[in-house]
Amino acid sequence: MKSIAALHAAVTAASFDGEPSDAELDAIETEMPAILADVDLLDAQIMTIDRTPTELDERRIRRARRRVLAARRDLANTTTAGEVA
């Protein structure tokens, strides 16, 4: 019977410390306005799951959608401006 102990190190991935790198943290911070806008939209939609949306609910969802679009637009413009410069 052959032992695979010698091969174990070759197939095992590099150790993972479980913490994000500085670059990953910077990327998350850059995307945070878009993430928070998405969360607000989900909150507005979740509130109307079990009932018929009122006019106020519809306005709240429309405002949240506009905030999501604006945050994504700003993120795209920021990313594009960084690539051009």
55 pLDDT more than 70? yes
Mean pLDDT (whole number) for 69-82: 87
- Which pair of tokens denotes residue 54? 């009122």
* Residue ranges of domains in the chain: 20-84
36 pLDDT more than 60? yes
pLDDT in tens, 37-54: 999 999 999 999 999 999
Confidence of residue 8 (pLDDT cuts 50, 70, 90): low
pLDDT in tens, 17-34: 788 899 999 999 999 999
Amino acid letter, 85: A
CB 71 within 8 A of CB 63: no
Amino acid letter, 61: I
How much is the pTM? 0.70
